[in-house]
Amino acid sequence: MTIESQPSELPELPEQLAIAQRAINLPEVQEIMRKLSAYHLGVYMPHMHDEKTGAFRLLPEGMTQVEDNLRISFQSVDRLGRSNFVPVAWVWRDGPTPGGGCKSICMTIHHCEIAQP
């Protein structure tokens, strides 16, 4: 199944995230996705949301999205190394860096809430 969003259907995004949205339709990105799928990996757009407006924001360097008890928070990447969290998403910052982590008892999620820090 292929899903393409029209630019008019998307909320206003920071330029870097808008680039990511457009790039997903490029043949070279789709080829990378095809190769990743052989390893049961995929592509995601590292982001967070403004606590007051809910607007999309870039995920700052050194921060990771963490799922714990079906709640999402944003914490230091260093926390994943000192706890029972499993990296589940990575970004490239001079090498693979965790972009998302999940507590080791993670279950399939259909809905998440943003946890207040």
pLDDT in tens, 42-53: 999 999 988 899
Classify residue 3: in a domain, yes or no: no
* CA atoms 105, 109, 115, 117: torsion sign: positive
- Residue 109 lies inside a defined structural domain of this protein: yes
Q: Which residues of the chain have pLDDT under 50?
A: 1, 106-117
Q: In this predicted structure, what is the pLDDT of residue 106? A: 45
> Is residue 1 a part of any domain in this protein?
no
Number of helices (H), then strands (E), in the chain:
3, 7
46 contacts: CB under 8 Å, gap ≥ 6? 58, 59, 65, 89, 91, 99, 100
Note whether residue 101 is domain-resident. Answer: yes
Q: What is the pLDDT of residues 79-88, one digit of tens each?
A: 766 667 888 8
Query: Structural domain tally of the chain?
Result: 1
Asked if the structure places residue 44 within a domain, the reply is: yes
